[in-house]
Structure 1
Amino acid sequence: EKCRGSPPPPPPCRESSKSHCCSTMDTVLGIKGDGFTMIVADRTSARSIMVFNQAEDKITELDSHKIIGQSGPQCDTANFAEYIQKNMTLYELNNDMKLSTFATANFMRRQLATALRKGPYQTNILLGGYDEGAGASLYFLDLYSALTPVNFGAHGYASNFCLSIFDREYKEGMSVEEAKAVIDKCIAELHTRFLISQPNFLIKIVDKDGVRVMEA
């Protein structure tokens, strides 16, 4: 449900409903380890045949212990991330408590589902967070408002190359170094096999100490 006193969500990008290619060309990867969640995204901002820059940050910090990696047109990803982020802050101010990662995932899913029959946001999301007691978690959401907790996930054409690597290499209780090694294999595979050039990647980790950036 919407937080008390929250404004209506911003309208989705009108152009985004015309083509699905914008979201599939982005790469977003996620993996859950022992007490942390790692989310990775490419840094290329492009449209049609034009590359705008290769230093885009597609991983938004919702609060001190929650991050989302998004694929999709920039208008939809920016609008949706900001709407969720500000409503989480409003909820905390109204109730003197933060939303859990589970509650945040379901709030995001509700907003995607509500918009689905009106003007869908063309954004696919991996949500990573850390909660005291519950520990680290990773949630997979898509533009059709599907939601499920996962140990690893991928959005975009990259899923064709990376899911098999995750399936083979993932194990329970991975350390940060082990998870980073799996991500490195995924990035190497994309650089070798993927038609689209994605030279730069950004890695963010969320754990009990908060969010930090790791060198790709």
Structure 2
Amino acid sequence: MDISFALTGKGYVIVAADTTAARSIIKMKVDEDKIKVISPHLLMAYSGEPGDTVQFAEYVERNLRLYQIRNTHPLRPSSAASWIRGALASSLRSRKPYSVNLLVGGYDTSTYTPHLYWIDYLGTMTSVPFAAHGYGSYFALSLLDRYHDPEASLEEGLATLRRCLDEVAKRLVVSPEKYKVRVVDKDGVREIEL
């Protein structure tokens, strides 16, 4: 029952994920953070099986941090997304595959451009201007297709995100109450209250 959205704009990536931890019809927690900050200019929203998601997110965070320590600079968003996709694809061919869907967003400080990658549990990856995972994607992708503008300011991007969240709240029977929203841009990652 995880819902996550992401979209790019002029110099930023917005990532939003619900904060509900549920199993079947039972709500266990309403303050779960499903967005992992991997580096100062890179973050990842994850959804899927509860144990797999947290374990895989921590595995990615630690390995990308190890790369930064060994090489004195962090991976750029495209390289990090490729490494993450490879790790997910390798686990798929093992006895313990991760059941995790990801939205990887980052800001490339060398080219001054935002990047967003959609990765599913089968290790499929594509670069996209906007993305969604979970039941919310049934309602939000058409809105994002219509209202997304790659040259939009941060305020316009947040307005588009609010449209998606309002549509999910209106149409989904068991819609989440709260979302955590983070933005990554030239200044790094920060959390935004809607």
Please report the TM-score for the alignment, with normalisation by the length of structure 1.
Answer: 0.87
Deviations 1:116-151 (A, max 9, x none): 122221110000101123311100000000001000
Displacement of 1:89:
1.1
Match of 1:197 among 160, 166, 175: 175
Gaps in structure 2 of 5+ consecutive residues: none
Distance in 2, matches of 1:117 and 1:95, equals 29
Displacement of 1:53:
1.3
Distance in 2, matches of 1:51 and 1:197, equals 12
Displacement of 1:178:
0.5
Question: Partner of 1:129 in structure 2?
Answer: 106
- Please tell me the root mean square deviation across aligned C-alpha atoms, in Å: 0.9
- 1:207 matches 2:192: no
Question: Partner of 1:147 in structure 2?
Answer: 125
Question: Partner of 2:73 in structure 1?
Answer: 97
Gaps in structure 1 of 5+ consecutive residues: 1-24
Deviations 1:66-121 (A, max 9, x none): 00011112211111111111111111111112111111000000011111122221
SS at match of 1:168: helix
Question: Partner of 1:29 in structure 2?
Answer: 5
Distance in 1, matches of 2:92 and 2:49, equals 16
Amino acid at match of 1:185: R
SS at match of 2:43: strand
Amino acid at match of 2:107: Y
- 1:188 matches 2:166: yes
SS at match of 2:163: helix
Question: Partner of 1:21 in structure 2?
Answer: none
Question: Partner of 1:158 in structure 2?
Answer: 136
Question: Partner of 1:73 in structure 2?
Answer: 49
Displacement of 1:197:
2.8
Amino acid at match of 2:175: S
Q: Going by fraction, where is strand more abundant, 1 or 2?
A: 2
Question: Partner of 1:10 in structure 2?
Answer: none
Distance in 2, matches of 1:98 and 1:117, equals 27
Amino acid at match of 2:116: L
SS at match of 2:44: strand
Match of 2:32 among 56, 59, 63: 56
Work out the percentage of aligned pairs sharing the same amino acid: 39
Question: Partner of 2:87 in structure 1?
Answer: 111
Please report the TM-score for the alignment, with normalisation by the length of structure 2.
Answer: 0.96
SS at match of 2:81: helix
Displacement of 1:172:
2.1
